[in-house]
Amino acid sequence: MVAQGGEVNGNWSETSRNIGGSIQGHGANGSFQVIAQAAGFSSSIALKTAGNKQQIAMKADSQFRAANISLSK
């Protein structure tokens, strides 16, 4: 992925299921909102980093519906 001028673009892959696709969105200052897409799959992903914490929220339109992940160091 590449973040430039507030825009995020790139590719993703998940090797155990042999699937991959594109990522597009925007972000700055440790906060990103992107859409990951592949054939028959779409997921919105929000990532926020502040200090020693990260929060990730994913919502998809497939069997995998959603995940909320909080990490701290």
pLDDT tens-digit readout, 9-59: 999 998 998 889 999 999 988 899 999 999 888 999 999 999 999 999 999
pLDDT of residue 63: 77
Q: Distance between CA atoms of 6 and 49, rounded to whole angstroms?
A: 15
Structure-block tokens of residue 70: 């909080």
CB 21 within 8 A of CB 37: yes
Q: How many CB atoms lie within 10 A of CB 3?
A: 15
